[in-house]
Amino acid sequence: MRETPRSRETAGDTGSEHPQPRPGRALAHTAGASGSGTPHRSDGRPLQTPRSVRRADHTGRLGTTPPVPGRPSLSLTLLAVCAGLVLAALTWQVATVGPLLAPDERLGDAVRTSDALPSGAARFLADLGDLGVALPVLAATLAYVTWRTRNRRVLAVAVLTMALVPALVGPLQSLLARPGPPPMAPATGFFPSGHAATAAVAYGLCALLLGGRAAVLACLALNLAVGAGLVRMGYHWPADVLGSWCLSWLLLYGAAAASAEVSSPAPPSGSTLRAP
């Protein structure tokens, strides 16, 4: 039987079978290479990673946005430690009527009597820390993130963190009973500031849930504005606001760590990444 040109070309082409994988080693897939090293494809395209072994984002779901915070970094941990130390020092000064309260009150008087920030603008900025303003913003952010990620465990962490604000601030105010600035005298219970803590935690949770530099910068700007408004209107002393910021940082740090734990499930036991 005469051999056709097609059969001769096939016979003299490579004369070998497809490369066989060595035991215990995975084949390397080179993008753009045609034929060699790619046992299952002839067009040179790399094999897709199975969905079961793809790396998920912070929410534990593949490709979901916006991001949910991961585990806090070492720098954020150090900042949390510093915030705890500053909060402890301020609490001790308020409880013992320490020497740091005198310069704090002088600074508060200077800001309150300054015309750099008009009273109308200051009142508006202070009101940004009110529950009626901060909570709706947080609720809208939580609804959006929950709709996008379907991660209700992170939602529970955020709600619990926000609930801790009055649970911690109220007893501290009653226990320390710091007198307020002259416009609020003779009332007591101004350390730490409830408005400053509400704004810091609510807007801070929004920044954590949405992610991105823009959200963080907006959160910082809002909280600085709220603090300036509170001191300018004579609602709080500067140390009251600073103490609330330190307490809020600790709460936000705990929220970020808890969100990472509940939204990043551990891989199944004994599972390994293998080439398909």
- pLDDT tens string, the chain, 276 residues long: the values are 444 444 444 444 544 455 555 554 444 444 444 444 445 554 555 555 555 444 444 443 333 445 555 567 888 899 999 999 999 999 999 999 999 999 999 999 999 999 999 999 999 999 999 999 999 999 999 999 989 888 888 889 999 999 999 999 999 999 999 999 999 989 999 999 999 999 999 999 999 999 889 999 999 999 999 999 999 999 999 999 999 999 999 999 999 998 877 655 444 443 333 333
Extract the tokens encoding 116: 């750099």
Residue pLDDT, tens place only, 103-133: 999 999 999 999 999 999 999 999 999 999 9
Helix (H, G, I), strand (E, B) or coil at 190: coil
Residue pLDDT, tens place only, 130-167: 999 999 999 999 999 989 888 888 889 999 999 999 99
Distance, C-alpha 46 to centroid of its chain: 35
Whole-number Å distance between alpha carbons of 275 and 5: 38
Helix (H, G, I), strand (E, B) or coil at 188: strand
Whether 189 and 240 have beta carbons less than 8 Å apart is answered as: no
The separation between the first and the last C-alpha atoms of the chain, rounded to the nearest angstrom, is: 42
Packing angle between helix 131-149 and helix 152-176, nearest 10 degrees? 160
